[in-house]
Structure 1
């Protein structure tokens, strides 16, 4: 079996049919599908069972109580028998020839990881990630130096998803139990990608857009919960430990992204809560030792000026000014139709 397509499912009845149809239409057929119904309370479970019955020769269905996306994905990994794992979130979709394109590249390179572009458009246009710098380092077959990819993971958000990749199964830490992370809602991808890049030897990039990443406002990544701060600290602290192993000189850049993750939380609080509630949450976020360490040890060179201004307000404790600045800035961006509004407002 070449590929195991892993699909964790939870309450996505509106999007799941399109996701499953994109699997059904794959032109390359040497694959299995692992569906994990993570305790869905809508019709998602019934859709999974129907799909599994229809394709019983290639679909495995795991039913479990709701344990969250991370442990649903780990349950799928445990059941996988393919040489490569392809993660597909249940509100997203694959281009019809996605597995065929990846398989062709694997025949050419025998890579441990093949990463392909995603788009927020169902037409599979306009790549979501900016891979220009990475692609400039690629050889004619698309192979990227491992150190370059590790640096990208440590210093940006351009390589930290489980989806958008075909990963050799032996590079995944299947032997590690993730049960201690049950309930973690933010950063689960990064938690699992870092060990992959610690084990992988050959990484290849494909510039083709093969994955449709849907903007789903109901997804957990859009939640504003204080537990997000704990999740950020858990995941980002693990990443810092990899930085110490791979390239300690990049720690200031890791700290910069740590601070920016807290900034993102504060931005959502400022834009989605009333004044009293948002100022209380922002104060809590900025009083954490995690944020104080990050802001004091960070190198913000190359970061957009608007982020540096916002972080200065947070560092100084000027929370009311920060809130006013954010609401003014994002009010203007909303008029311009900026995509940043989707994330923070």
Structure 2
């Protein structure tokens, strides 16, 4: 018999599901099973569950034919559970490390019907907000199990299913199930607590409760929040049924606890109403009226209990149905909060403009231009912090010129990069008056990084974030857990920039998962493939020959491109590479192309001297040219491997500092275990791969095939067209429509 069955329903949680599952499977305890319930999820959640089940026999997957909602999905998992205990863990939350042995020890020692555990609220900035545990239970509970009549304050702990481990036979005997609809925890948790004869309390943080910026019902506005009344109605009807069941002891117990449950009901209603992100203004008076009706309907004998202080004032207003006074107090509080927020916003927008060296005149000119109409035919493009014409924005620009010629495209570039623009490309110089004007008035703003903080998201404008690689290293908010590689990052500012995005281009399903997790906001994901990779599919042999000729790569012999990534935490790092030794192995006709990361474009010390068969191509504008002429790519943790894999040519992962890099910088993908080809962890090993032919071996080809199937399925030569049709022309694909 398994001790614990984890029931993990999954719906639109592809960005968080892996962390949830890993937190369970990595516990130093294995007497459990995981039942992953795919609740008809339209994203990759079901595939993620299936992948874990294939790799770990402790994981089983239940696929529901259509979306039924969290409550019924939990019921379906409960029906498949075989453990003595069931733990309903939400798929966007995760267990605290090493907590399960302590939970298991308590379960085995005391055999409670319910074991309540503590949690922390994990905010987007990775800060931990404590639960109400210390307030509710200021002194340690020493008893193995407690009686609610003696400790009714336990009912004030957050009324959710995931902070309770439940004896399965108790649930089955009590016939307690989750109801459908929102706020399903309410009508399950309170009956469970009141029906339980043995309740254990474990003062141990076991669950990280994720506070999502988007996707949670607490951040969703709509009429479905009225379903909270149905859930509380179920609670009180259950209480009435218990009192009428003919068991005097049970009736007396329920009567004693009813006032506590009533107080929690009113608290919950006011919490939902007070959250401005849930109840729209036009619905608030109606919601308030429903609260008043329930207060009068379910009030315990002797009148409703009234808490002290401000909470008591709200209770009295609700009981009396005084909506006007309640709304006036709410408005007064909101005015104060709005005034304080306005001051912060003004400071935030003005100060960075001056701090980054942008003169006050230019910033003032930009602000003035915001009062002018949006230019409905203007699109502004930028790449790599204005370093030039490159990457996905360049591919989108070229497709837009062909498919939407009525749209005027203007590039923003640094002054030192102007002479590198292709002929015929209209541009403005970063920092100029024209620069501020087009930024203020463009309808479309396209970039593979973020525009500066001072840029305002105007109503009617469209911001397209193309990104510039499939992420190996952690990005965005995930960098908070790796502070060594995130020195100086302003994560609050990052999210303000992300909130401007309307569309986010994704190269593959893996990237979609990582971007949604690293950059949580309300943008629309365009999982279309990377526009810059279209050229790798469509380039002709004649085009490749022309590029080779420009680079001086005439004649036979293998061309190896070495493209390592940047190490933010090691600014002076130089990869251990001896070009001459590698060329000796490649033979007399071999050539080596060296390309440093674009962050080093102004650092002379990063440049190699092009001599003979070694060519420094760091200044070459279009990296796609280099992919096309290279016979082999050698890289470490760079996204270059995902792009180059489109060509189905050999890739070598040269990872001399892999353990240190993933510990300091953090990674999403184990590129050593899941490499797109052969792997070397030191320079001698790299030479041996070329010397022995391991670079071109059948094993390396098989690894590349698996890698291509996972990451390159969308690279068909039409990604840029898909982006232009969706973003500029408003056309939906067959699957989107």
Bin of the TM-score, shorter chain as denominator length: 0.7 to 0.9
- What residue number does 2:20 align with? 19
CA contact (8 A) 2:174 2:195 kept: no
- What residue number does 1:307 align with? 311
Write out per-residue CA displacement over residues 70-99 of structure 1, whole angstroms, 9 at most, x where no aligned residue. 111111111000001112110010123222
The alpha-carbon deviation at position 249 of structure 1 amounts to: 4.5
Question: Does residue 85 in structure 1 map to residue 86 in structure 2?
Answer: yes
The alpha-carbon deviation at position 198 of structure 1 amounts to: 3.9
* Number of equivalences: 320
Question: Does residue 261 in structure 1 map to residue 268 in structure 2?
Answer: yes
| More helix as a share of residues | 1
Note the 1:156-171 alignment, pairs <5 A.
Answer: 156=156, 158-171=157-170
Inter-partner Cα distance in structure 2 for 1:42 and 1:226: 25
SS of 2:133 mapped into structure 1: coil
- What residue number does 2:131 align with? 128
- What residue number does 2:201 align with? 205
Say which of 142, 145, 154 aligns to 1:143: 145
- What residue number does 1:63 align with? 63
Inter-partner Cα distance in structure 2 for 1:124 and 1:203: 30
Write out per-residue CA displacement over residues 124-150 of structure 1, whole angstroms, 9 at most, x where no aligned residue. 9664132454464723x5432232455
CA contact (8 A) 1:172 1:195 kept: no
Flag the 1:261–1:95 CA change in 2: closer, same or farther, 3 A. Answer: closer
- What residue number does 1:321 align with? 328
The alpha-carbon deviation at position 51 of structure 1 amounts to: 0.9
Inter-partner Cα distance in structure 2 for 1:201 and 1:124: 36
SS of 2:141 mapped into structure 1: coil
The alpha-carbon deviation at position 19 of structure 1 amounts to: 0.6
Flag the 1:226–1:144 CA change in 2: closer, same or farther, 3 A. Answer: same
CA contact (8 A) 2:148 2:194 kept: no
Inter-partner Cα distance in structure 2 for 1:272 and 1:165: 26
Q: For structure 1, which segment, 82-91 or 125-134, has the greater mean C-alpha deviation from structure 2 after superposition?
A: 125-134
Note the 1:104-123 alignment, pairs <5 A.
Answer: 104-121=105-122
Question: Does residue 216 in structure 1 map to residue 212 in structure 2?
Answer: yes
CA contact (8 A) 2:122 2:211 kept: no
Note the 1:2-13 alignment, pairs <5 A.
Answer: 2-13=3-14
Q: For structure 1, which segment, 257-266 or 289-298, has the greater mean C-alpha deviation from structure 2 after superposition?
A: 289-298
CA contact (8 A) 1:34 1:80 kept: yes
Flag the 1:105–1:45 CA change in 2: closer, same or farther, 3 A. Answer: same
- What residue number does 2:74 align with? 73
Which sections of structure 1, spanning at least 5 residues, go unmatched? 338-345
Write out per-residue CA displacement over residues 137-174 of structure 1, whole angstroms, 9 at most, x where no aligned residue. 723x5432232455532xx3x15221122211112147
Inter-partner Cα distance in structure 2 for 1:205 and 1:235: 25
Inter-partner Cα distance in structure 2 for 1:283 and 1:6: 38
Flag the 1:83–1:292 CA change in 2: closer, same or farther, 3 A. Answer: same
Q: For structure 1, which segment, 169-178 or 38-47, has the greater mean C-alpha deviation from structure 2 after superposition?
A: 169-178
Flag the 1:7–1:149 CA change in 2: closer, same or farther, 3 A. Answer: farther
The alpha-carbon deviation at position 209 of structure 1 amounts to: 0.9
Inter-partner Cα distance in structure 2 for 1:251 and 1:112: 21
- What residue number does 1:343 align with? none
CA contact (8 A) 1:124 1:209 kept: no
Q: TM-score, normalised by structure 1?
A: 0.80
- What residue number does 2:223 align with? 226
SS of 1:96 mapped into structure 2: coil
CA contact (8 A) 2:23 2:97 kept: yes
The alpha-carbon deviation at position 100 of structure 1 amounts to: 0.7
CA contact (8 A) 1:77 1:174 kept: no
Inter-partner Cα distance in structure 2 for 1:208 and 1:257: 24
Flag the 1:79–1:144 CA change in 2: closer, same or farther, 3 A. Answer: same
Say which of 290, 309, 313 aligns to 2:294: 290
Flag the 1:272–1:96 CA change in 2: closer, same or farther, 3 A. Answer: closer
Inter-partner Cα distance in structure 2 for 1:174 and 1:247: 19
CA contact (8 A) 1:8 1:72 kept: yes
Inter-partner Cα distance in structure 1 for 2:307 and 2:295: 18
SS of 2:210 mapped into structure 1: coil
Q: For structure 1, which segment, 85-94 or 285-294, has the greater mean C-alpha deviation from structure 2 after superposition?
A: 285-294
Inter-partner Cα distance in structure 2 for 1:73 and 1:94: 18
CA contact (8 A) 2:225 2:278 kept: no
